[in-house]
């Protein structure tokens, strides 16, 4: 494990990592995108992830950026 990945894991364990919660309709799915060390790093990379979801046909994409601790699963289908 590289130093950046180890830092991300450590920050996540402490609840200091930045995550995006992305909810779509059709399909009705919640995606968690992260962890990131900085809010800026997350925001810069988030647009690419959301564009990929849109290209795959996801409708009504709602996103929130939060600081949290997350574990699996990172994709939740209804």
Burial environment of residue 56 by CB neighbours within 10 A (0 to 12, 13 to 18, 19 or more): exposed
Domain count of the fold of the chain: 1
Per-residue confidence (pLDDT) for residue 72, from 0 to 100: 81
Domain coverage including residue 37? 3-77
Q: Which of 31, 13, 3 is nearest to 70 (CA)?
A: 13
Q: What is the pTM of this model?
A: 0.87
Query: Cα separation of 26 and 65, whole Å?
Result: 21
Per-residue confidence (pLDDT) for residue 78, from 0 to 100: 77
Each residue's pLDDT tens digit in the chain (78 positions)? 799 899 999 999 999 999 999 999 888 999 999 999 999 999 999 999 999 998 989 887 799 999 999 988 888 887
Per-residue confidence (pLDDT) for residue 64, from 0 to 100: 95
Per-residue confidence (pLDDT) for residue 66, from 0 to 100: 95
């Amino acid at each position: 494990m590289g130093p950046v990945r180890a830092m991300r894991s450590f920050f996540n364990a402490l609840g200091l990592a930045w995550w995006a919660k992305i909810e779509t309709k059709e399909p009705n799915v919640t995606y968690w995108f992260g962890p990131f060390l900085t809010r800026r790093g997350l925001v810069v990379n988030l647009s690419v992830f959301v564009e990929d979801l849109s290209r795959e046909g996801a409708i009504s994409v709602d996103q929130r950026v939060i600081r949290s601790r997350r574990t699996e699963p990172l994709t939740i289908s209804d």
